Each structure stands twice: as C-alpha cells, then as structure tokens.
Chain A
C-alpha cells in the first residue's frame, strides 16, 4: 500500500477556527450581557431624561472590568477537559500552540466586547448632559489584557483553578482573622505579606495604578510589567500542555 501522509493544518487556519468556535461558545454569555446592558441602557436613558443621571457617571472604578477580564478565560475554557484526553487534544495541532490559539481567540472576543462597552459608555456619556462624564479610556484594555492573561495562565496551569481561588481566598481570610486575633492591626507584618503576594494584591495594584492616571512613562512601564508578567505566566502555564516530552 502506498501511503501518502496527510499534512497537519496550517497555524493560521487553526487560529482562525479557534476564533470562530470560541465566538460560538460565548454566545450564551453574550446574550446575558446584552440583556443586562439593555436593561442598564433603559435605566440610564430614563435617568438622563429626568436629568438625574449624574450618579451613573461619577465612578471611575475599574475593578469590575478587571474582575470580568480575569474571569473571562473561565467562560472560554468552561467546557474543555484540559487535563484529560479532551476532544480538543485529539485535533492534529500542537497542543501547546492550540491552547495559546484558544487563549488568543478568547482575548480577541474580550477586546471586541470591551470596545463595544467603551462605545456604549461614550455614547451614553455624550448624551448624558452630565458635566465631565467620561467613558473608560482605551488604556483600560491593556489592564484587562493583563488580567485576562493571568486568568488564562491559572486555567492552563491548574486542574481545579476555582478550588485554588476559593482556597486562596480562604487562606487570606484566615490570615486576616489571625491578624485581628494577634492584634497586629492593618499595618502589621502579616498584612504586609498578604498584600505583597497573591491575586488580590495584583487586583489592588492594578486598580490603584490605573486610578492614578499616571503620566505616559509610568503607565508604559506598568503596562509592560503587567502584560509581560501575564504573558510569562501564560507561557509557563501552557508548557504544561507541551507535546514533545519523553518520560
């Protein structure tokens, strides 16, 4: 029998298909978001007509965006049995690259969603007749990207990321209790350890940095650091799915 070996798919085809299929997979989330934002829009528009919309536009708190970006990968990977012989891994593409392609695909959709959000905000802000009403600046996309990368890294590195998150939160809670019991106060050593490590300090720092509206150089450095750290974490996590390994 003369066997003509078949070619593996091109990387660009794999990425394109991942973008499409992740999009299909996020339909339900998109629908929920559309309903929520639809209701919000109605509420805001009603308030605008009542000239009472100021409360909608006085916050520049980005924490919800950061949290959403961090949780976005959980929606992207919701159905894949990453650490089992999942359907995804039977495809003829390098597993590590396939994982990264899926992360990229999710990022594309997240950025698209955030762009829509910014568009929605700025449109409403323009019609709000509220003084100094602002939409979230484009810089927020970079912060969201960093959070998304951390979330993705967690998903690819850990079999049970939710358990780890809950467990970590539990540990911090206990440490906090310990703090109070020992009477160390908010500036005690334990507190310092807590805030200098862990996911929550990351959230906190990012938020603080972004809230300061730093000059260009500062935020460029911060961006570089956070996105770089996120990328490094992602690449390290993805190597758990590397193929070329011998025992």
Chain B
C-alpha cells in the first residue's frame, strides 16, 4: 500500500558476520503505532536488525528506513526518534552513577521529559546513587527502561526487554509500558523469545528464522490462519505436500492425525477433505503457539 506510513521499513536487508548469515533479504514493515513483536531463536537476526535501524551496523545489502529517514544516510536523525534497550548491558559507563548516566543521556534528547524521567525512576525503583556497574541484570534493565522511555520517542526498539526481570518487576515494568503507550503515540518493535511475557501487548508479529523473515502479519491474521487441525484418515495416509505444517502427531493406530497448519481455515479444510481426510476439529491457538509454528514449520529452508 503506497498510502500507509511505516515507522520501520527495511528493503532486502542482508548481513553476514563472517560465514554466519545474520539477515537474509529481510523486508520488515512496521506500521506507525503498531506493537510489533519480532520472534526468533537466539542468533536469528533480531538484534542485528535493530542495530541496522540505529546505524550501528552497516548491512551488506539492502537499506532501512525509520519514519522515512534512511538510517545509513541520516543516522543521527533516525536515532533521535528511537528509544533503544539493547540486549546486552553497556559496560562502557559502569563507573557512572545511575543519576549521572540519566543526566548524560538526557543532554542528547531535546525532547527529554525530566518530570516523566523522575516518575519512571520512582515507579521502576531505580536507585540514582548506585553505580551502573554494580547493578544486577534486572536493575540494569529498569534503568534502561527509564533511558528509553523518558524522551517519549516515536519508536521504541526493545531487545529482550524482559530479560533478567523477576516476574513481579516484569509485570510492573510492562504495565508501565502499557501506560506509556496509552499516553504517548509510540511504535514498538520488541524482539523476544519469551513470547508469552509480552504477547498481550502485541498487535503485529514477525518471525525470523535463520536470518529470513518467514512471517509478518497482524495478530488477527495470525490467529485466523494458524490453527491446530485434528483429522481422521485411513492408515498410511499422507498429508498433501502443499500444506504448510508444523508439529505433526499421529495416533498409534495411525487413523488419527494432528498438526498445526498454516493457511485460511476454509482453504486448508477443503484441501484436507479433498485428500480424503475427515476434519474432526479446528482449534485456534494462543499467539505464542501460533507464532512458534513458523519456527517449527516442516520442510522450510
């Protein structure tokens, strides 16, 4: 669609680290205002994609835009729109106190909201006098939330943001994020492999598998097109090869089968029926299960 505005758009993004493929022709499209969760195993390319958006990494091919700003040509302007929580904690500034680091970062964002920063510090329980280097993983994450949210950036790039947060703090932090989204028009790209922790916030899902974007769809489309099918079949029956399937199970008798199948339910059901299977049951899946189907898909490269 030509009229739609994207907060993030990448075009054929490819990148290799030595012999490892980090990104392979990735075309991300994140609509403005979306909460887009990017799913994939460790090393699937999620962090690399974010670093390209910040112009921290230079892709081997393709390009990326943040609100229409080419990240390779207008990196500083693009970064001015972004609140970023990196997967790894920065040890560069371990010697600073939390308060001084907040001040330092604030100096670089004309839009910094000091009152809001103070509010976040108290809600998330960041202790300003502590040295950054002495923080636990969870405390470091909370500090990063303050740094990322306090300038109310139009785009948040959150790389494994719940990593290291204990369940209680995680809930408080994510509730704060939900509140932030209600107050500030924000687009969120959130990379995670703890899907269940953040799925209630998501309205778009992208799935990276070995550097390839194998799925990119709205939450509603994901729920509609990924279902668990249970069928009764004759012994020795084989699934039509054109169906995209994951997690197959077969009863010991061989007459009952179950998989997660990807496609419009009416279409999938018709194909199964025409192949001689009796569809017993079509069950919609929770977001995590549905998204994982793309990672477990059989026969995919």
Direct contact of A and B (CB under 8 A): yes
Query: Are B72 and A80 in contact (CB-based, < 8 A)?
Result: no
Query: Are A90 and B56 in contact (CB-based, < 8 A)?
Result: yes
Asked if B54 CB lies within 8 Å of chain A CBs, one says: yes
Give every chain B residue within 8 A of A25 (Cβ-Cβ). 95
Complex CA distance for A118 and B72, rounded to whole angstroms? 46
Q: How many residue-residue contacts, CB under 8 A, span A and B?
A: 109
Q: Which of B102-110, B210-218, B229-237 contacts A (4 or more CB under 8 A)?
A: B102-110
Interface centre among B5, B61, B107 (most CB of A within 10 A): B107
Query: Are B185 and A2 in contact (CB-based, < 8 A)?
Result: yes
State how many angstroms separate the Cβ of A2 from the closest Cβ of chain B. Answer: 7
Query: Are B58 and A245 in contact (CB-based, < 8 A)?
Result: yes
Q: B151 — nearest CB in chain A belongs to which residue? A: A6
> Residues 71-107 of chain B: 1 if any A CB is under 8 Å from the residue's CB, otherwise 0?
0110111011110101000111111100010001101
Complex CA distance for A43 and B61, rounded to whole angstroms? 64
Complex CA distance for A77 and B111, rounded to whole angstroms? 28
Given A90-B79, A245-B72, 20 additional A-B pairs, CB 8 A: A1-B32, A5-B81, A6-B110, A6-B111, A7-B110, A9-B110, A13-B107, A16-B107, A24-B96, A79-B95, A80-B92, A86-B90, A87-B90, A91-B105, A92-B80, A93-B108, A243-B55, A243-B75, A246-B73, A247-B61
State how many angstroms separate the Cβ of B157 from the closest Cβ of chain A. Answer: 10
- Using a CB–CB distance below 8 Å, which chain A residues touch chain B? 1-10, 13-14, 16-17, 20-21, 24-25, 79-81, 85-95, 243-247
Give every chain A residue within 8 A of B94 (Cβ-Cβ). 79
Chain A residues touching B, majority SS: loop
Interface centre among A13, A16, A79, A88 (most CB of B within 10 A): A79
Query: Are A94 and B84 in contact (CB-based, < 8 A)?
Result: no
8 A-B residue pairs with Cβ-Cβ distance under 8 Å, sorted by A, are A5-B67, A6-B109, A13-B110, A17-B107, A86-B90, A89-B56, A92-B80, A246-B73
Chain B residues touching A, majority SS: loop
Asked if B298 CB lies within 8 Å of chain A CBs, one says: no
Number of interface residues of B (CB under 8 A): 45
Complex CA distance for A133 and B212, rounded to whole angstroms? 73
Complex CA distance for A79 and B104, rounded to whole angstroms? 16
Give every chain B residue within 8 A of A2 (Cβ-Cβ). 185
Asked if B127 CB lies within 8 Å of chain A CBs, one says: no
Asked if B161 CB lies within 8 Å of chain A CBs, one says: no
Asked if B60 CB lies within 8 Å of chain A CBs, one says: yes
Query: Are B58 and A3 in contact (CB-based, < 8 A)?
Result: no
Asked if B51 CB lies within 8 Å of chain A CBs, one says: yes
Give every chain A residue within 8 A of B76 (Cβ-Cβ). 8, 92-94, 243
Query: Are A247 and B109 in contact (CB-based, < 8 A)?
Result: no
Query: Are A7 and B111 in contact (CB-based, < 8 A)?
Result: yes
Q: B56 — nearest CB in chain A belongs to which residue? A: A85
Complex CA distance for A44 and B76, rounded to whole angstroms? 52
Give every chain B residue within 8 A of A87 (Cβ-Cβ). 90, 92-93
Complex CA distance for A89 and B51, rounded to whole angstroms? 11
